[in-house]
């Protein structure tokens, strides 16, 4: 059945209206087949019915309270979104100083076996109260009754419809998402473009000194002076590592938004060789970022959720430094250089995803996507400068934490 | 995170146990739990002035039938009660109004509307606005999940008529929904 019809059916399945006035009183006049012998005293009956009404009200309130907690103020704290890359492969050859491949081949990032734990507004709970209902057998189904006299004649009971073998009610998972749900997730990701090295010439970060400077004080300057033009500095970028916390907000049944805070670590190996000396070291950059994304659920049922998402990331380099060691004419020294620049790295991404519900609280998802990193306008060389366009594949497990229905 | 969890089936079971124990409060509890829902069900089928009578007959039938009702899992009690209310409503409609069914043949495709934002009471109102024949078939097929064969037998029409009337009903409903959305 089409989605809109299912939606209407589900809503009508719960919809209630105010009962007609005095209906119960009219019913109470009709002898009940299961009534005890003798009737209670009227006043005692009143007292009991009041307390029952109160109990029923409390029950209803509890159900709605449960629903409102589920819907409105749910702040499920969820576990990490852990994307584990095949680290071994990358770290086996971190120092392959390859000339920058200037082809337009986009790097491929892979995130495998991610584990994302978040709450989900649709919590298909296998034990939900809205499971498939079974048929009522014919003999239990006094489906018809002659209109009985108001003074309480017991009506004849006739069948109108034959026993149907189809399940009349498909109890769908609750897809009403007027709920304003907050979800919290922690995530970690490692993005692995394939060709991660680049080389560049120049000494952006280091000043040159006068030619007769004491090279012992600054062997790097000497090396640069001697080696200028002979061989350029090469950076091999390692895979970025990103961890973060994100909060999700369900706007409508289909649309949700997510934001959060991420920390990203970019590390690159530095290599430079020349006639008289070599330099090697590591550049480390730390970013604090804010991601923002929206997600559109194109199709969702009990088992599957197919969605698309688009996002914007802003990462600020809060600190960066390079640690390098030099060998020059038998002298060696090391240097730690802290960067003054704090570039802002912006990127956009789009992805499509599908989640499959394994159990009521665990789903498996895959999200291939593309992200594009903009020039941050700085001199610092990062993996994103060499590979601004990335394909990525997110795959993971999503754990539902929180109230189920 | 812990939370309150109330399952309907436990409530249904509890109510049925009360009936088994001949607890004279059981009818009232059952009534309080389902009367508002059944009111909404009946009012999808019949005009307001008849809802009260049909509900009364429904509850009488229900109370009479409960001793032999076999619980078949969560929601089965609600489904059974719904069936009673629907059948009584249908009987009333057949007896009291003339529904004309015309097999109109193929109709145009329906543009599937977006209903997520529409509140249930508005949708309920749209269904009530459908002409009698369309409303019956829409209710029986889409909401109650009956087949065209069952509907045809219940209403004394052909299955193909039922199918084409359903299509018309859906088309009309979709039109109402679109008009409602365009007003916003």
Estimate the share of chain B in helix, then strand, then coil, as percent rounded to the nearest 5.
70, 0, 30
A252–B116 CB contact, under 8 Å = yes
pLDDT computed for residue A398 by the predictor: 67
What does the pLDDT read at residue A84?
40
Residue in chain A lying closest to B54 (CA): A147
**A170/B1 Cβ within 8 A:** no
Task: For residues A328-338, give the mean pLDDT.
Answer: 79
User: Which pLDDT does position B146 carry in this prediction?
Assistant: 93
Percent of chain B with pLDDT over 70: 89
pLDDT at position B96 is 79
d(CA A385, CA A377): 10
The per-residue pLDDT for A288 is: 95
In DSSP terms, which residues pair with A348 in a beta bridge? A312, A372
Q: How confident is the model at residue B110 (pLDDT cuts 50, 70, 90)?
A: confident
* Interchain pair B24, A32: CB under 8 A: yes
Nearest-angstrom CA–CA distance, B141 and B147 = 6
All residues of chain A having their beta carbon less than 8 Å from the beta carbon of residue B144 are 168
Burial A379-405 (b: 16+ CB within 10 A, else e): ebbbbbbbbeebbbbbbbbbbbbbbbb
Residue B105 has pLDDT above 50, yes or no: yes
* pLDDT of A128 strictly over 70: no
User: Is the pLDDT confidence value at A6 over 90?
Assistant: yes
Q: Which residues of B touch A145 (CB under 8 A)?
A: 57, 60-61, 84, 88
Instruction: Give the closest-approach CA distance of B173 to chain A in angstroms.
Output: 10
Q: Which of A15, A26, A170 sits opposite B120 (nearest CB)?
A: A15
Once rounded to an integer, what is the mean pLDDT over residues B67-90? 92
Residue of A nearest to B143 (CA): A9
Using the beta-carbon criterion (under 8 Å), do A129 and B75 form an inter-chain contact?
A: yes
Residues 221-260 of A with CB under 8 A from B: 252-254
Whether residues A169 and B124 touch (CB distance < 8 A) is answered with no
**Does A43 contact B at CB distance below 8 Å?**
no
Instruction: Point out the residue among B28, B44, B80 whose CB comes nearest to the CB of A141.
Output: B80
DSSP string, A335-392: EEEE-----EEEEEEEEEEEEEEEETTEEEEEEEEEEEEPP-SSS---HHHH--EEEE
Those of residues 81-120 in B touching chain A at CB distance below 8 A are 83-84, 87-88, 90-92, 112-117, 120
CB pairs under 8 A between A and B: 236
Residue A117 pLDDT exceeds 60? no
Contacts of A1 in chain B (CB under 8 A): 142
CA distance A148 to A127: 39
How far apart are the CA of A67 and the nearest CA of chain B, in angstroms?
9
Contacts of B74 in chain A (CB under 8 A): 129, 131, 133
Interface test with B, best of A26, A33, A46 (most B CBs within 10 A): A33
Summarised one tens digit per residue, pLDDT across range A143-165 is: 443 333 333 333 333 332 333 33
pLDDT at residue A94 greater than cutoff 90: no
Predicted local confidence at residue A165, as pLDDT:
31
* Cα distance between residue B160 and residue A162, in whole Å: 20
Minimal Cα distance from A174: which residue of B?
A: B116
Q: pLDDT confidence of B169, banded at 50, 70, 90? A: very high
pLDDT reading at A331 higher than 80: no
Res A367 pLDDT > 70: yes
Residue with the bigger pLDDT between A23 and A68: it is A23
Which residue of B44, B55, B91 is in closest CB contact with A23? B55
Position of tokens 């949700």?
Answer: A256
More confident residue, A200 or B116: B116
Percent of the residues in chain A that have a pLDDT greater than 70, as a whole number: 45
A375 pLDDT more than 80: yes
Q: Give the least confident one: A88-97, A250-259, A363-372.
A: A88-97
If you average pLDDT over residues A52-67, what whole number do you get? 58
A395 pLDDT more than 90: no
- Mean per-residue pLDDT, B65-90: 92
Quick one: pLDDT at residue A399? 66
Query: How confident is the model at residue A222, as a pLDDT?
Result: 47
| Nearest-angstrom CA–CA distance, B8 and A312 | 43
Strand partners, A282: A269, A323
> What is the ipTM, given to two decimal places?
0.91
Torsion of CA B58, B61, B62, B64, to 10 degrees: 160
Q: What is the pLDDT of residue A257?
A: 84
Q: Which residue of A has its CA nearest to B21?
A: A34
Task: Assess whether pLDDT exceeds 50 at residue A292.
Answer: yes
- Pick the residue with more confidence: A250 or A268? A268
User: For residue B111, is pLDDT > 70?
Assistant: yes
Q: Which of A79-88, A171-180, A323-332, B153-162 has the highest mean predicted lDDT (pLDDT)?
A: B153-162
Q: What pLDDT, on the 0 to 100 scale, is given for residue A102?
A: 36
B7, B75, B88 member nearest A127 (Cβ):
B7
For residue A121, pLDDT over 70 is answered with no
Token output for B34:
């389902």
| Cβ separation A161–B150 shorter than 8 A | yes
Chain A residues with CB-CB distance to B113 below 8 A: 4
On the question of pLDDT at A201 being above 90, the answer is no
- The confidence band for B34, taking pLDDT boundaries of 50, 70 and 90, is very high
Determine contact, residues A249/A258, Cβ cutoff 8 Å.
yes
- The pLDDT value recorded for residue A299 is 84
pLDDT score for A385: 86
pLDDT at A284 over 50: yes
Spatial separation of the C-alpha atoms in residues A199 and A232, rounded to whole Å:
7
Mean pLDDT of B57-85: 92
Question: Which of A41-45, A130-134, B158-162 shows the lowest per-residue confidence on average (mean pLDDT)?
Answer: A130-134
Across the interface, whether the CB atoms of A8 and B27 are under 8 A apart is answered: no
What token pair was written down for A248?
């999700």
Rounded Cα distance, A160 and B28, in Å = 27
A25–B contact, CB cutoff 8 A = no
Q: Calculate how close chain A gets to B102, using CA atoms only, in Å.
A: 23
């Amino acid at each position: 059945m089409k989605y809109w019809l299912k939606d209407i059916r589900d809503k009508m399945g719960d919809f209630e209206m105010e009962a007609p006035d005095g209906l119960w009183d009219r019913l109470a006049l009709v002898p009940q087949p299961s009534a005890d012998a003798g009737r209670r005293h009227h006043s005692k009956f009143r007292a009991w019915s009041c307390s029952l009404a109160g109990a029923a009200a409390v029950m209803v309130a509890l159900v709605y309270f449960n629903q409102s907690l589920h819907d409105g103020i749910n702040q499920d704290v969820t576990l990490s979104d852990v994307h584990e890359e095949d680290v071994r492969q990358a770290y086996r050859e971190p120092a392959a100083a390859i000339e920058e491949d200037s082809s337009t081949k986009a790097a491929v990032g892979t995130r495998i076996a991610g584990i994302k734990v978040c709450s989900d507004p649709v919590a298909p709970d296998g034990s939900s109260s809205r499971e498939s209902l079974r048929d009522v057998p014919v003999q239990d189904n006094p489906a018809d009754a002659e209109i009985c006299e108001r003074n309480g004649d017991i009506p004849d009971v006739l069948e109108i419809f034959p026993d149907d073998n189809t399940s009349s009610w498909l109890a769908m998972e609750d897809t009403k998402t007027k709920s304003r749900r907050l979800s919290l997730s922690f995530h970690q990701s490692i993005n692995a473009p394939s060709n991660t090295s680049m080389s560049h010439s120049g000494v952006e970060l280091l000043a040159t000194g006068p030619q007769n400077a004491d090279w012992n004080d600054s062997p790097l300057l000497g090396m640069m002076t001697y080696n200028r033009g002979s061989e350029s500095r090469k950076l091999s970028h390692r895979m970025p590592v990103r961890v973060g916390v994100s909060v999700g907000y369900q706007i409508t049944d289909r649309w949700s938004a997510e934001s959060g805070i991420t920390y990203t670590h970019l590390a690159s190996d530095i290599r430079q060789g020349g006639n008289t000396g070599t330099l090697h070291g590591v550049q480390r950059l730390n970013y604090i970022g804010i991601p923002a994304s929206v997600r559109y659920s194109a199709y969702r049922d009990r088992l599957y959720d197919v969605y698309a998402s688009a996002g914007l990331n802003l990462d600020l380099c809060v600190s960066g430094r390079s640690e390098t060691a030099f060998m020059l004419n038998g002298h060696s020294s090391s240097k730690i250089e802290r960067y003054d620049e704090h570039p802002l790295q912006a990127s956009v991404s789009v992805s499509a995803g599908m989640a499959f519900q394994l159990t009521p609280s665990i789903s498996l998802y895959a999200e291939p996507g593309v992200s594009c990193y903009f020039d941050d306008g700085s001199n610092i060389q990062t993996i994103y400068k060499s590979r601004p366009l990335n394909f990525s594949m997110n795959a993971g497990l999503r754990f539902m934490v929180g109230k189920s229905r | 995170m812990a939370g309150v969890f109330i399952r309907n089936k436990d409530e249904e079971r509890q109510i049925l146990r009360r009936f088994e124990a001949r607890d004279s409060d059981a009818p009232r509890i059952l009534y309080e739990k389902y009367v508002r829902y059944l009111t909404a069900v009946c009012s999808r089928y019949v005009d307001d002035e008849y809802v009260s009578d049909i509900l009364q007959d429904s509850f009488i039938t229900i109370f009479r039938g409960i001793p032999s009702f076999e619980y078949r899992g969560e929601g089965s009690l609600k489904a059974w009660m719904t069936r009673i209310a629907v059948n009584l409503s249908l009987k009333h409609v057949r007896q009291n109004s003339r529904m004309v069914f015309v097999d109109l043949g193929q109709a145009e495709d329906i543009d599937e509307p977006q209903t997520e934002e529409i509140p249930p009471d508005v949708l309920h109102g749209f269904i009530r606005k459908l002409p009698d024949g369309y409303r019956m078939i829409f209710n029986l097929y889409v909401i109650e999940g009956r087949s065209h064969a069952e509907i045809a037998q219940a209403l004394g029409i052909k299955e193909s008529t039922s199918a084409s009337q359903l299509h018309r009903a859906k088309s009309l409903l979709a039109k109402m929904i679109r008009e409602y959305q365009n007003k916003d």
